[in-house]
């Protein structure tokens, strides 16, 4: 790992939707590339926990939304959400949890370098689920991991999402049949024994973007290793929860994170 990973190169203030939260677009180093991300800080000076927000999608699909990041910061966290390489003015090219996982690792180090940040929690939505699990495996000091509608198995994504196959073949370099190792390296299920942090799985049972089978496989894998895992399954919801429920789940999951520290 490059010793300059996570080093902040540039900070630009960004308009915040919340008067109690300050937003900045950060340019930071990830294996020599200048990558961008959004930092949200509660307007208090006290030490608090860091929250690494790992977005889903690729390129313009699933972009980091300032209101969403501010929502988590309003719960008392310093939140950093990398855009991943090649996005919104960042250098390099995204490759769907391949080399671009380094952008998440460097973002973890960035949060760690901030003087007011104590513990770091990792959160992944959709494709961010694999990024979150891989990051927590890389950093054993991770305080907790939450995966919401999260991918856990890249082989399963390829077989379920016919609409994504062309993109996956392009960025990963081929099919799972031709390059199983490239899909395996992107699938955290094969490395769960190295995961120390408690995990919370949140998933809508009717999710058609990332089937609930991803959650079940992760839950089974963690249970088989006697790892700490909590699961919140929502029978009536898809990949996206209604706004009122969404806000409540945000509140509940941040309480869950804080309770892991007390534990």
The residues assigned a catalytic role are 126, 239
The per-residue DSSP string of the chain comes to --TTTT-EEEEEEE--SSTTEEEEEEEEEETTEEEEEEEEEES--S-EEEEEEE--SBTTBTPPPHHHHHHHHTTTEEEEEE--TTSTT-SS---SSSTTHHHHHHHHHHHHHSTTEEEEEEEEETTHHHHHHHHHHH-TT--EEEEES----HHHHHHH-GGGHHHHHHHHSS-TTT-HHHHHTT-GGGGGGG--S-EEEEEETT-SSS-THHHHHHHHHHHHTT--EEEEEETT--SS--HHHHHHHHHHHHHHHHHHHH-
């Amino acid at each position: 790992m490059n010793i300059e990973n996570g080093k902040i190169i540039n900070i630009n203030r960004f308009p915040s939707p919340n008067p109690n939260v300050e937003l900045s677009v950060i340019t930071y180093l990830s294996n020599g590339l200048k990558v961008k991300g959004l930092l949200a800080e509660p307007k208090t000076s006290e030490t608090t926990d860091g929250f690494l927000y790992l977005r889903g999608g690729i390129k313009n699909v699933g972009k980091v939304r300032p209101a969403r990041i501010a929502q988590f910061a309003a719960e008392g966290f310093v939140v950093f959400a990398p855009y991943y390489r090649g996005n919104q003015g960042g250098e390099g090219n995204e490759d769907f949890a391949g080399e671009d996982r380094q952008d998440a690792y460097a973002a973890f180090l960035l949060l760690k370098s901030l003087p007011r940040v104590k513990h770091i929690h990792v959160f992944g939505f959709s494709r961010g689920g694999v990024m979150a699990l891989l990051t927590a495996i890389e950093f054993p000091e991770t305080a907790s991991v939450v995966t919401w509608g999260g991918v856990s198995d890249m082989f399963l994504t390829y077989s379920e999402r016919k609409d994504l196959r062309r993109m996956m073949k392009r960025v990963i370099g081929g099919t799972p049949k031709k390059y199983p190792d490239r899909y395996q390296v992107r699938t955290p299920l094969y490395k769960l024994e190295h995961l120390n942090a408690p995990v919370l799985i949140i998933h809508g049972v009717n999710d058609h973007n990332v089937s609930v089978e991803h959650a079940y496989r992760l839950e089974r894998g963690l249970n088989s290793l006697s790892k700490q895992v909590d699961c919140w399954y929502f029978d009536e919801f898809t990949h996206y929860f209604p706004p009122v429920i969404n806000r409540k789940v945000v509140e509940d999951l941040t309480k869950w994170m804080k309770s892991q520290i007390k534990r």
